[in-house]
Chains A and B, each alone.
Chain A
Amino acid sequence: MDDSATDTQAASEMLSDLQPILRGQDLVKTFGRVVGLNRANIELYPGEVLAVIGDNGAGKSTLIKCFAGAHQPDGGTMEIDGQEIAFGSTNAAREAGVETVYQNLAVSPALDIASNLYLGREIRKPGVLGSVFRMLDKKQMRIDSAQHLKDLGIGTVQNITQAVETLSGGQRQAVAVARAAAFGSKVIILDEPTAALGVRESARVLQLIHDLRSRGMPVILISHNMPQVFDVADRIHVQRLGRRAAVITPQSHSMNDAVAIMTGAMTVDEADQALGPVREPAEVAS
Chain B
Amino acid sequence: MTTTATADANGVDLAGEFDPPGGLLAGVQRTLHKYPYLSPLAVLIMAMIIFTLLNERFIFAGNLSLMTQQTVIIGTLAIAQTLIILTAGIDLSIGAVMVFGQMMMANLAVSATASNVTLGGWPAPAAILVGILISTLAGAANGLLIVRFNLPPFIVTLGTLSVFTALTLIFFKARTIQGPELPNMMTWMGNTFEVGPFDVAVGVLLMFALYGIFAYILRNTAWGTHIYAVGDDPDAAELSGISTGRVLLGVYTVSGLIMGIAGWITIGRVGSASPNVAPEINLDSITAVVIGGTSLFGGRGTMAGTLLGALLVTVVKNGLSLAGLDQAYRVLAIGLLVIAAVALDQWIRKVKA
Spell out A's residues near B (CB within 8 Å). 1-2, 70, 90-91, 94, 100, 102, 104-111, 115, 119-122, 124, 133-136, 138, 152-159, 162-163, 165-168, 170-171, 174, 204, 207-208, 210-211, 213-214, 283, 286
- Digit string of B110-128 for contact with A (CB within 8 Å is 1, else 0)? 0000000000000000000
Contact of B236 with A105 in the complex, beta carbons under 8 Å: yes
Across-interface contacts of B225 in A (CB, < 8 A)? 111, 115, 119, 122, 136
Contact of B14 with A134 in the complex, beta carbons under 8 Å: no
How many A-B pairs fall under 8 Å by CB?
Answer: 134
The reply to whether the CB of B3 lies closer than 8 angstroms to some CB of chain A is: yes
Across-interface contacts of A121 in B (CB, < 8 A)? 241
- Known A-B contacts: A134-B222, A135-B221, A167-B353. Give 14 more (CB < 8 A): A70-B239, A108-B232, A111-B225, A119-B225, A119-B241, A153-B7, A155-B12, A158-B18, A162-B18, A174-B12, A207-B11, A213-B1, A214-B4, A283-B1
Bound-state Cα–Cα, A158 to B13, Å = 11
13 cross-chain CB contacts under 8 A: A106-B239, A107-B233, A108-B229, A108-B237, A108-B240, A110-B228, A119-B229, A120-B237, A153-B8, A155-B12, A155-B14, A207-B10, A211-B4
Q: Which chain B residues (197-236) contact chain A, with CB distance < 8 Å? A: 216, 220-223, 225-226, 228-229, 232-233, 235-236
Contact of A102 with B239 in the complex, beta carbons under 8 Å: yes
Contact of A153 with B12 in the complex, beta carbons under 8 Å: yes
The reply to whether the CB of B317 lies closer than 8 angstroms to some CB of chain A is: no
Bound-state Cα–Cα, A106 to B239, Å = 6
The one of B2, B216, B220, B241 in contact with A91, judged by C-beta atoms closer than 8 angstroms, is: B241
The reply to whether the CB of B352 lies closer than 8 angstroms to some CB of chain A is: yes
Bound-state Cα–Cα, A159 to B353, Å = 12
Bound-state Cα–Cα, A120 to B223, Å = 9
With contact pairs A111-B228, A120-B240 given, residues A207 and B1 touching in the complex (Cβ less than 8 Å)? no
Bound-state Cα–Cα, A286 to B4, Å = 12
Contact of B4 with A210 in the complex, beta carbons under 8 Å: yes
The one of B12, B14, B222, B299 in contact with A136, judged by C-beta atoms closer than 8 angstroms, is: B222
The one of B236, B238, B240, B353 in contact with A166, judged by C-beta atoms closer than 8 angstroms, is: B353
Contact of B14 with A166 in the complex, beta carbons under 8 Å: no
Spell out B's residues near A (CB within 8 Å). 1-4, 7-8, 10-18, 30, 33-34, 216, 220-223, 225-226, 228-229, 232-233, 235-242, 299-300, 351-353
Across-interface contacts of A134 in B (CB, < 8 A)? 220-223
The one of B239, B300, B353 in contact with A90, judged by C-beta atoms closer than 8 angstroms, is: B239
Contact of B12 with A162 in the complex, beta carbons under 8 Å: no
Bound-state Cα–Cα, A107 to B232, Å = 9
Bound-state Cα–Cα, A36 to B69, Å = 62
Bound-state Cα–Cα, A162 to B8, Å = 24
